[in-house]
Amino acid sequence: MGIVRDIIAHVEVEVAQRARLCHHNKKEHNIRKGDKCLAIHDANGGRKNYCGPCAQDILTKAKTKLAGIEQQIQN
């Protein structure tokens, strides 16, 4: 049997080594050095960072989408 594929390999939690911008709300949210943030890497090697509250919204949306996909595959 083959290895199970990881379909969310481009997403990880990082601890900011320096101040970063939250790409969801650049004007009002920031990420300070030492804060945990969600990092989403794109195919070109770029990365977008999201603060904790914005990351929670992104993860909730992803869980809902995955649950829908799981429901479709099971039926």
Cα–Cα dist 20/51, whole Å: 9
Note the pLDDT tens digit of each residue in 47-68. 999 999 999 999 999 999 999 9
Q: In the chain, what are the domain boundaries?
A: 11-74
What residues does 20 pair with on adjacent strands?
A: 31
The DSSP letter of residue 54 is: H
Report the mean per-residue pLDDT for the chain.
Answer: 94
Cα–Cα dist 29/19, whole Å: 11
Place of tokens 């090697």: 45
pLDDT of residue 74: 95
Cα–Cα dist 41/10, whole Å: 5
Sign of the four-CA dihedral 16, 18, 22, 23: negative
